[in-house]
């Protein structure tokens, strides 16, 4: 009787260790939760929302418009990739130009409308600037209140990108994919 209980306990112990190992591997290399801090990505992402970050695609190239988590010096940031390595970025009259081409930013429509109501432009004019080799230029969607590549954070390397934000999973009533 004792040997059956001992075997059962060993079996449970092995199962728990295996589950813990899988959880550590998944969290370290595949997916991780992240809590949005601040209003810099509103209305796309809101303060205190929890997002699932995909760490798997870090070997591939990033796309313009992707929302990523970036390792900062003191904290992590959630931002949208605007300029890829070698891109020339220009912002004029609230319109973004990449390599001379106008880029539509439909995710900014609510914030642009709010800025117009208070007599401001959403994004101040800057550029043209050329994104250095192996660097990315990022901005928040709430550009009136975003610390980003324009104003203090500078450029980021691929190694500083933790992963891509894929999905809001909390609060449950706000679950959604991120675009």
The catalytic residue positions are 40, 79
| Residues whose CB is less than 8 angstroms from the CB of residue 113 and which lie 6 or more positions away in sequence, other chains included | none
Cβ-Cβ contacts under 8 Å for 176 (sequence gap 6 or more): 167, 168
Nearest to 164 by CA among 48, 6, 53: 53
In angstroms, rounded to a whole number, what is the distance separating the alpha carbons of residues 36 and 69? 10
Q: Which helix (H) or strand (E) holds 148?
A: none
User: In whole angstroms, what is the distance from residue 6 CA to residue 12 CA?
Assistant: 10
**Alpha helices for 34-108 (secondary structure H):** none
């Amino acid at each position: 009787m004792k040997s059956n209980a001992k075997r059962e306990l060993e079996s449970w112990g092995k199962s728990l260790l295996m589950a813990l190992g899988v959880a550590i591997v998944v969290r370290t290399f595949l997916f991780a939760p992240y809590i949005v801090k601040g209003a810099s990505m509103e209305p796309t992402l809101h303060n205190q929302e929890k997002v699932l970050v995909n760490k798997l695609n870090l070997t591939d190239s990033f796309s313009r418009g992707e929302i990523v988590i970036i390792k900062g010096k003191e904290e992590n940031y959630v931002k949208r990739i605007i300029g890829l390595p070698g891109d020339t970025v220009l912002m004029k009259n609230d319109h973004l130009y990449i390599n001379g081409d106008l880029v539509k930013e439909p995710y900014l429509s609510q914030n642009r409308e709010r800025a117009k109501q208070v007599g401001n432009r959403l994004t101040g004019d800057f550029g043209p600037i050329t994104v250095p080799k192996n660097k990315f230029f990022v901005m928040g969607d709430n550009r009136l209140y975003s610390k980003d590549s324009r104003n203090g954070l500078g450029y980021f390397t691929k190694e500083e990108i933790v992963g891509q934000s894929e999905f809001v999973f909390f609060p449950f009533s706000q679950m959604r994919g991120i675009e």
